[in-house]
Chains A and B, each alone.
Chain A
């Protein structure tokens, strides 16, 4: 295990499963029920035999009783495909307790839970409008490789979330998890619309640093944007800080409105929060983990 994670944590994650309620009709066979009839052991229905059907599926017991040929149908089990979009811009590398650490841990946690339930997951880092893709993996054995790749993620540059997300080709009903601070001047509307269009079930996880939530600096500051290098001179008074907090609150409320409009789940996490508390309390309470 890396320094980001410990074995005990993942052992506890074993008890969790994702509770995303989507019906899959595409994708590879897996551990998730799909709307398709397939070859699983779970009985689904009967239907009359039609020429061309696999004669191995004729229920001979029924034929003996009714003298008619019926085919026995079973549920088809598909694997779900999770896309974890991880913001690797410079703003994520901020805070005494860095947002990037919390984001990586969350991504790993999601990946573990997904792999554990035999689904497929891919981690997509994005910055400056580009995607950095890891290979989609499935099976628990792939987790170590995934984890290793996560540890190699570096943070820097601007975000441009909309542009990055549009670069991602998505097929059918899948699940997209966006982990970011969403502090993107271009906004996230376009990205959400795109994901919605691609029939994605969307989970927005906003990671903020404590310094962003509770700003307590004094004096006149030349605030420098770690991404763009842009400077803003602000004299920190009680009133200025109050206005900032109100602005942040309004911004977050706007995010929630967007999430609600597009049927997304939204969660805000502060970087210095206890990860276990986030996973086992907050996400469970939100119904994301069952």
Chain B
């Protein structure tokens, strides 16, 4: 037996007040009468016939005092343990996804409240109950298995950590079923704030959804305009009412030291988003600033989504070498792209020589490679600065010819090439319509068709993804292999109508963005919980990952190439690898999963019956039955009884 709160005990002062009122009420009014002889007999008669008459005279007083006491008790929220009886198997699943960090009460987050409720439930269990504790966000983790130790179970529950990962408890269903299969009657309890599909599972749910003020900083992005740096911060209000907030914009250098760059303000209507613009003088920024961070300067229910980051690239021009006898389509398409210096050569041996000597092509044969265009302006994209310490090319485009030995650094685009070490040509097709499939490089043009006279087809390698399909095979793919980003296009553009289509320059733009980005990771911006594909070169040194908290993690080059790494903590990360004397560095950001976690569908909806009439989930009774409703019913009955007594006495 316990109570939820003790403050209603203060109302006990009402009891003496009622008694005093009764004493005052019973002050007798003097009344002269001819003779009290009969009244004395009346008094004796009442006393004699009903020994409890004394009590009955004060029955209303007792009923009223009892009413007040019941009322106070009901306010205190009493509960009794109901699970203390038999042994049972209990599987408790606690959601520790990012949304559970939202405040549930003024002082407790949803996860803290859930852990408390789970511990209460454990307290209410009978000795010998078999306990399983699972935490879930993107993945389910079995924190405790098959234990009868209630203390240990509570310690494990209290030890569950808040994460910034997106997800709901549907990820735990498999594990829960596996645990439940060990007993015929397992009690399954979910402690979560987010609705999820339980399927046919018979389980109880305790909802910790709370409707409180919450704003999130969704994205931070920037563009360079001459000497200006334009920063856009997207803010979303997940609450119902209009909110005003100030936003601080910080810049951080390599050591993580932050400088306040600007302060903006925003007014966002309920369930709406607003952009906030900052215009900074790029020349005035410290040269060491590598990342921007925007933060709301007022805390709300969910603190995790109040900030976002973006990596600030240095101004850089990418160098591209086009090895071709003549391909005006590719040449013109790359010429139109900003931030690119395009060089052309028809002599593939220059590349071979450079590869053999591991030296710069232009450095040794600068006069042979023709500089087509120089563009010093940035292109506004997040471009990795992998070659900054090298004098080679960032991208080699081989059109119909491949050197015997490829350069050790840089990325490659193979156009109509027969065979390269990295992939295998498996034939040709003629007079066929090829199709652009949805991929990272075909944004906005997926579904486009290319008519070809002749095209090479390839088996898409395991490390690649197709973007031009030719039936079951591929006529174009991209991917990362041995530290190089590689793009393949299997046909001569002169043998197709593709060069004349509007989709062509869009595809070239997409390929160039992909191929010119840093190659240590596949992207520069992630969300907590994403898997990062590392692409360290097997020929390089160990790969170093610097976490937002300053911790450093090192991996062997063999281990780092093609390895997936999960990032759970939001912030700015830095990955670096030493390759042939030069250090390749790349920054990337991990953001809060705003879209999935800043505003979730309340778990309360799980209690409702669905459209098919299936009943909703049962609500968890946390090891106890609350007596408030019973007391309220008793209170009403008591009031009715009091009324009857009052009428009868009168």
Contact = CB atoms under 8 A, between A and B. Distances in A.
B34 A183 contact: yes
B33 A219 contact: no
Interface in A211-262: 211-212, 217, 219-228, 230-235, 237-240, 243-244, 247-248, 251
B422 interface: no
B496 to A, nearest CB: 108
B28 A221 contact: yes
A234 B43 contact: yes
A247 B33 contact: no
Contact of B35 (A221, A227, A243): A227
B40 A232 contact: yes
B34 A222 contact: no
Contacts of B551: none
B42 interface: yes
A194 interface: no
A181 B40 CA distance: 17
Given A220-B27, A235-B57, A237-B650, A183 B35 contact: yes
A251 B38 contact: yes
B37 interface: yes
A225 B42 contact: no
A206 interface: no
A212 B34 contact: yes
B488 to A, nearest CB: 104
A38 interface: no
A220 B649 contact: no
Using C-beta atoms within 8 Å of the partner chain, give the interface range for chain B.
20 to 34
Contacts of B366: none
Contacts of A251: 38, 41
B35 A240 contact: no
A34 interface: no
Contacts, number: 93
B38 A244 contact: yes
A24 B28 CA distance: 56
A93 to B, nearest CB: 9
A139 to B, nearest CB: 36
Interface string B1-45: 000000000000000000000000111111111111111111101
B46 interface: yes
Question: Most chain-A Cβ atoms within 10 A of its Cβ — which of B28, B30, B33, B36?
Answer: B33
B46 A223 contact: no
Given A222-B31, A243-B42, A247-B42, 14 more contacts: A181-B34, A183-B34, A183-B38, A221-B29, A223-B32, A225-B36, A226-B32, A226-B34, A232-B36, A234-B42, A234-B43, A238-B649, A238-B650, A247-B45
Interface of A: 91-92, 94-95, 99, 181, 183-185, 209, 211-212, 217, 219-228, 230-235, 237-240, 243-244, 247-248, 251
29 contacts: A94-B34, A183-B35, A183-B38, A184-B37, A209-B34, A211-B33, A211-B34, A221-B30, A222-B28, A223-B32, A223-B39, A225-B35, A226-B32, A226-B34, A226-B35, A228-B36, A230-B36, A232-B43, A234-B39, A234-B42, A234-B43, A235-B26, A238-B648, A240-B46, A243-B45, A247-B38, A247-B41, A247-B42, A247-B45
